[in-house]
Amino acid sequence: MPQDALSIQNVSHDFGRFQALKDVSLTVPRGGFTALLGVNGAGKTTLFSLITRLYDNRSGRIEVAGHDLRRQPGAALARLGVVFQSRALDADLTVAQNLEYHAALHGIPRREARARSLEVLAQVDLSDRLHTRVSALSGGQSRRAEIARALIHRPEILLLDEPTVGLDVKSRTEVVALTRELTRGGVSALWATHILDEIRPQDGLVILHKGQVLACGNAGAIGGEDLTATFLRLTGEAA
């Protein structure tokens, strides 16, 4: 069994003359919470688009749970659960209907999908919202429902692209805490953010700036006593 849930080695990507990513390498260990920190425009969303094959990685290598993304795309993508920055749930449907629809996309039979829906909603503390329309959920509840959707096919790693954007402080704290709890249950997480307060010293940390990795390792070791000061020193920008 491969040690890493996600391995990215020497990946670059450009849009014409614009170099969006430059020789990016990072790993997410199994059961680990790794923060991908960078200001808007750092390349976080481009990297996620490569991992999910919205874009083709023309250079370097991406492996998901040991499966090469270019050679074994089906096997690799089946092990990914994704929470995009933009909302992916249908607001006019209930939470259950959204989950069952997403399960069907993964070939999960309807009866099993219903059982899994109950399972993942319990994981995100939304069991009482099974038959609630998404439009009636609060911002924090909607985000937790998105995480439940990403978990329905039992992935090995979650990709979360700025998942707390637009949430109040309480909801933001709850979503971060929920994701950490999920990693303690065995799923891995790559958490893209520009918010330094969402990072803890024990986390894995990758600082991405203008498409390049400036630091990669343990957050406490990288940031020392003051992660904000370290980030400013490395990037010259405020997060």
Q: Of the candidates 154, 177, 211, which is a domain's last residue?
A: 154
- Across 24-28, average pLDDT: 97
Rg of the chain over CA atoms, in angstroms?
A: 18
Q: Which of 102, 101, 65, 51 is nearest to 187 (CA)?
A: 65
Q: Which helix (H) or strand (E) holds 102?
A: helix 95-105
Q: Answer yes or no: is pLDDT of 74 > 90.
A: yes
Q: Answer yes or no: is pLDDT of 237 > 60.
A: yes
Beta strands 80-83 and 157-161 are parallel
User: With the C-alpha atoms ordered 210, 212, 214, 219, is the resulting torsion angle positive or negative?
Assistant: positive
Q: Of the candidates 106, 133, 154, which is a domain's last residue?
A: 154
Contacts of 217 (CB under 8 A, 6+ apart): 204, 205
Q: Answer yes or no: is pLDDT of 209 > 70.
A: yes
Confidence of residue 3 (pLDDT cuts 50, 70, 90): confident
**In the prediction, which pLDDT does 99 show?**
97
Alpha carbon distances (Å) from 161 to 111, 152, 220, 221, 230: 31, 18, 22, 24, 23
The strand pairing partners of 68, in sequence order, are 63
Q: Could you report the per-residue pLDDT of 36-65, keeping only the tens digit for each?
A: 999 989 999 999 999 999 998 889 999 999
Same-domain check for residues 160 and 148: no
Confidence of residue 70 (pLDDT cuts 50, 70, 90): very high
Per DSSP (E only), the strands in the chain are 4-15, 18-29, 33-37, 61-64, 67-68, 80-83, 157-161, 188-193, 204-209, 212-218
Q: Could you report the per-residue pLDDT of 137-180, keeping only the tens digit for each?
A: 999 999 999 999 999 999 999 999 999 999 999 999 999 999 99
Other C-beta atoms lying within 10 Å of the C-beta of residue 191:
27
**CATH code for the domain in which residue 1 is found:** 3.40.50.300
Provide the number of structural domains found in the chain.
2
Q: What is the overall mean pLDDT for the chain?
A: 94
Per DSSP (E only), the strands in 105-181 are 157-161
Q: Answer yes or no: is pLDDT of 1 > 70.
A: no
- Residue 84 located in a structural domain: no
Other C-beta atoms lying within 10 Å of the C-beta of residue 17:
5
2 against 204, higher pLDDT: 204
Same-domain check for residues 58 and 95: no
- Across 187-194, average pLDDT: 97
The strand pairing partners of 159, in sequence order, are 82, 190
**In the prediction, which pLDDT does 111 show?**
94
Confidence of residue 2 (pLDDT cuts 50, 70, 90): low
Give the structural domain span for 61.
1-79+155-239
Confidence of residue 199 (pLDDT cuts 50, 70, 90): very high
**In the prediction, which pLDDT does 205 show?**
98
**In the prediction, which pLDDT does 20 show?**
95
Q: Which of 133, 58, 129, 128 is nearest to 92 (CA)?
A: 133
Note the Cα 224 to chain centre separation in Å: 25
**In the prediction, which pLDDT does 173 show?**
94
Same-domain check for residues 162 and 143: no
175, 195 in Cβ contact below 8 A?
no
**In the prediction, which pLDDT does 238 show?**
55
